Amino acid sequence: MSRRCGPALGAAALAFLAAGCAATGSDAAIAAALARFVAAAEGAGGRVGVVVVDADSGRTLAAHAERQGFVPASNAKLVTAVVALHTLGPWATLRTELLVAGEVHDGELRGDLVLRGFGDPTLGLPWGRDPRLQQLVAAVVAAGVRRVAGSVRGDGGWLGGERHGQGWPWHDLDEDYAPPFGGLCCGGNVERVERDGGPSGRRPVADPAAFAARTLQAQLAAAGIGVADGEGMAGGPERLLAVVHSPPLAELLRPLLADSDNLVAEQLWRVAARAADGVGTAAAAAHTRTVLAALGIDAAGLVQVDGSGLSRLDLVQPAQVAALLAAARRQPWGEAFAAALPLAGVSGTLAGRLAAGPAHRRVRAKTGTLQRVTALSGWLERADGGALLFSILWNDFLVDAAAARATVDAFVQDLAAVGG
């Protein structure tokens, strides 16, 4: 229905209808901006899905293929963040335990030290400067241990035996951005390596739990505590020696959303499912659906097989992402979620994007990048205090990635210019 503003109306009616006319004009401008973007995107090949929603009313202002499934890349981390926050709460921490299995006689532990993890992705970070490792060493010293006749064992079994996500490309598995995950992590599950003729780099470790044990053993050696790596020790019942904790989940959201850390994503997705259902493997997908249903989000057609979005088996609809963002903003932890999202031209993976123009500092959004995939979903703060939620998912484009991102950014700038 169209609205016409006429001179015979009273002042209040004129104000109401003027607002309606302005909204209609804004809607048309948003639709036109979307049409320009879709034409540019389809000219560059592939499929694109977009939705723009008024955050206050929930009204869809413009959309294209919003109910089709797309590979989301790191936009999957938005789902992971919501699942973790809903399940664990923003102040939850993840613990790591140090236990002794054996008795101490004259300064010698006749048995093993056991380092057991419960999903913390931050132990051993920053590299070589995590005071929690020193806390564990201090606990060994306080127990009167000067020598370990057995070994230092790492136990990451709490999250099950999976180490890589389903559908992760084989060529990613040697990259430091795709380390293996597990119940016990250390140093981001990557180790430093020397490269011939070039600077040192980092590569994923083969066994995160064993790597964590070696790291602790090196810290013990530095404190003068020898480990014999003896086998066949009598050992004994395990006794808790020390516990250290991760930062609260609200702080882990920054590496998850702003920095797009894949290990943090995989750990939190699985920890949430393990805490809720007792299963920390890819069966976490079932818990994701439970959480989305509780938040009133229709998950039909959504496929999530990992927490990070590295897998090309993941599928999500732009409309589902927008509904997820709307639900997150309504939650008690919504501010923590929002604060962790990259800010246009300022922070995280948007620090170098939208650095000028009407979208600068007004957009908080999660990026996503895989080969032939780009994504950007979040919201634009309007001058009137409202917000426009948007989700842009583009798969299989034929231009280079930088050109695809530039096309997406141009649409977001258009949206900021005409949408308030």
Under the banding of pLDDT at 50, 70 and 90, the label for residue 195 is: confident
pLDDT of residue 133: 98
The whole-angstrom distance between residue 46's C-alpha and the CA centroid of its chain comes to 26
pLDDT of residue 3: 35
356-370 burial string, b = 16+ CB within 10 Å, else e? ebbbbebbbbbbbbb
Q: What single letter denotes the amino acid at residue 182? A: G
The whole-angstrom distance between residue 124's C-alpha and the CA centroid of its chain comes to 19
Fold of 95-246: D-tyrosyl-trna(Tyr) Deacylase; Chain: A; (3.50.80)
- Does residue 157 have a pLDDT over 60? yes
Under the banding of pLDDT at 50, 70 and 90, the label for residue 236 is: confident
Under the banding of pLDDT at 50, 70 and 90, the label for residue 419 is: confident
CATH 3.40.710.10 domain span(s) along the chain: 29-90+250-418
Which of 158, 179, 202, 334 has its CA nearest to residue 261? 179
pLDDT of residue 420: 78
pLDDT of residue 25: 61
CATH 3.50.80.20 domain span(s) along the chain: 95-246
pLDDT of residue 20: 43
| CATH class of the structural domain 29-90+250-418 | alpha beta
In whole angstroms, give the CA distance from residue 314 to residue 288.
13
pLDDT of residue 23: 52
- Does residue 389 have a pLDDT over 90? yes
In whole angstroms, give the CA distance from residue 294 to residue 284.
16
- Does residue 12 have a pLDDT over 50? no
Under the banding of pLDDT at 50, 70 and 90, the label for residue 137 is: very high
- Does residue 1 have a pLDDT over 80? no
Cis peptide before 126 (omega within 30 of 0): yes
Residues 33-60 have pLDDT tens digits of 999 999 999 999 999 999 999 999 999 9
